[in-house]
């Protein structure tokens, strides 16, 4: 079953369209990366899923049912702009949020205790938020997002504001939640997070979805048949009708690193065969695009990607 399906979701404001027929499918128990540059419409989509704002057209299905008010308790939401009541105590605040999500007072108290222990912050109950550091407040906010054991967790830029140690802690908790059968939507433009955590992605740009699918499939789709070879000497020419030389740079000891793009229909084995005849190959690797490469190529066009690749190489 799918955790969430949106069909042709459209949202217009007076002078621009924030979402233009966006359809995505989020499989259950996946970690789904919602990518896109700033202002692409990610937050609008997330707010619509959270029923904070309404869509003009389209349908949303959550675990097989049309999205309604009663589903609020199934969703946990960590907005990009974090915020807590500064003058309220941590415990009371968590209790309030959990009750708003529909937990009974007793249930909420039990869960809060468990989570405060998980984060090793049992003694925070009576502390006021204004007395906490930024990282501490972020932990409280994370707890408030997951307290009611939502089946769908939406995290908007979850790692901003965390130091590496705490970011690691949050990553562990996210993986734990996945083990506990939650579906997680990530909205981010940090590609390393997507690379390591997400198994599905969608890319939204200028109010439209331009790409969606399992991460591996997307990457395969964007393989450009490019290979990186390290070899000795450069006194030879590639069969120019079959390859395009992207760049070449010298390494130590007369070693060179060459990036080349094979024309259609030529696979890795054939490239190696060609190379063995003309030079001494030290290493060979197919260049698989990173999420970052794909992101840039789609958002800024191929020219930008080429430049980006050249800089990397």
Partner 1 sequence: MNKIWLIIQREFLNRVQKKSFLIATILVPLIFPAIIGGLIFIMIKESESAKADTVQVLDESKMFTFKSNKRFTFVPLDLSLDQAKKVYNETEDFALLYIPQIDINKPEGIAIYTKENPSIEKVGDLESSIENQIHDLKLKEYNIDEATLKSLRPKVNLKQFNLSDTGEEKSSSAGILYGLGFGLGILIYMFVLIYGIQIMQGVIDEKTSKVVEVIVSSVKPFQLMLGKIIGIASVGLVQFTIWIMLITVLSSGTLAYFGLKMPQKQVMEQVTKQMEKDPEMKEVVEQQNSKVVELLGNWSELPLLKITLVFVFYFLGGYLLYGALFAAVGSAVDSQQEAQQFQFPVTIPLLIGYMGLFMFILRDPHGSVSFWLSIIPFTSPVAMVGRIAFGVPDWQLALSIFSLIGGFLLTTWIAGRIYRVGILMTGTKVSYKVLAKWFMMKG
Residues lying near partner 1 in the complex (CB under 8 A) are found at: 13-14, 47, 50-56, 72, 75, 77, 79, 81-88, 96-97, 99-101, 141, 144
For partner 1, which is the closer residue by CB, 89 or 208?
A: 89
Phi and psi for 103 in degrees, rounded to 5? -75, 150
- Which C-beta is closer to partner 1: that of 153 or that of 298? 153
Specify the residue, 22 or 75, whose C-beta has the smaller distance to partner 1. Answer: 75
Please, which residues have CB within 8 angstroms of residue 204's CB and are 6 or more apart in sequence?
22, 34, 35, 36, 40, 41, 42, 45, 210
Please, which residues bridge with residue 211 across strands? 203
Tokens in use for 144? 């408030």
Q: Give least dist CB 112 to partner 1, A.
A: 16
Name the minimum Å distance from CB 83 to partner 1: 3
- Return the number of the residue (50 or 166) whose C-beta is nearest partner 1: 50
For the stretch 239-248, contacts whose Cβ atoms lie closer than 8 Å and that sit 24 or more positions apart, written own/partner, are: 239/274, 242/266, 242/274, 243/271, 243/274, 246/309, 246/310, 246/313, 247/310, 247/313
- The DSSP secondary-structure symbol of 93 reads H
Q: Which is nearer to partner 1, 115 or 238 (CB)?
A: 115
- Find the helix or strand (DSSP H, E) in which 188 lies: strand 183-188
Token code pair at residue 201: 């992605």
Q: What angle do CA 119, 125, 127 make, to 5 degrees?
A: 110
Cβ at position 54, least distance to partner 1 in Å = 3
Tell me the closest approach of the beta carbon of residue 72 to partner 1, in angstroms.
Answer: 6
Nearer to partner 1, 145 or 258 (CB): 145
Which helix (H) or strand (E) segment holds residue 61: the answer is strand 57-62
Closest separation between CB of residue 11 and partner 1, Å?
9
Task: Report how far residue 287's alpha carbon sits from residue 58's, in angstroms, rounded to the nearest whole number.
Answer: 39
CB of 104 to partner 1, least distance (A): 11
């Amino acid at each position: 079953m799918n955790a969430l399906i949106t069909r042709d979701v459209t949202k217009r404001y007076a002078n621009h369209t924030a979402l233009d027929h966006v359809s995505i499918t989020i499989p259950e128990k996946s970690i789904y990366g919602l990518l896109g540059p700033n202002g692409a419409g990610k937050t609008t989509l997330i707010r619509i899923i959270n029923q904070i704002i309404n869509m003009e057209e389209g349908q949303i299905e959550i675990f097989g049912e049309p999205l309604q008010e009663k589903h609020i308790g199934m969703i946990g939401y960590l907005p990009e702009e974090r915020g807590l009541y500064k003058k309220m105590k941590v415990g009371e605040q968590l209790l309030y949020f959990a009750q708003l999500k529909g937990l009974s007072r007793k249930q909420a108290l039990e869960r809060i205790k468990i989570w405060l222990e998980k984060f090793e912050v049992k003694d925070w109950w009576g502390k006021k938020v204004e007395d906490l550091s930024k990282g501490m407040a972020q932990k409280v906010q994370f707890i408030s997002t997951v307290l009611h054991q939502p089946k769908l967790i939406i995290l908007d830029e979850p790692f901003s504001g965390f130091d590496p140690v705490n970011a690691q802690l949050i990553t562990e908790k996210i993986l734990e939640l996945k083990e506990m059968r939650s579906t997680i939507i990530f909205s981010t433009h940090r590609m390393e997070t997507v690379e390591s955590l997400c198994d599905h992605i969608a890319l939204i740009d200028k109010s439209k979805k331009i790409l969606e699918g399992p991460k591996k499939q997307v990457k395969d789709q964007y393989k450009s048949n490019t290979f990186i070879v390290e070899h000795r000497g450069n006194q030879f020419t590639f069969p120019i009708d079959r390859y395009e030389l992207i760049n070449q740079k010298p390494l130590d000891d007369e070693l060179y690193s060459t990036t080349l793009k094979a024309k259609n229909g030529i696979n890795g084995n054939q490239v190696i065969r060609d190379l063995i005849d003309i030079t001494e190959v030290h290493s060979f690797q197919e260049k698989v695009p990173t999420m970052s490469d794909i992101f840039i190529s789609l958002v800024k066009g191929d020219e930008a990607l080429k430049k980006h690749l050249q800089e990397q190489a």
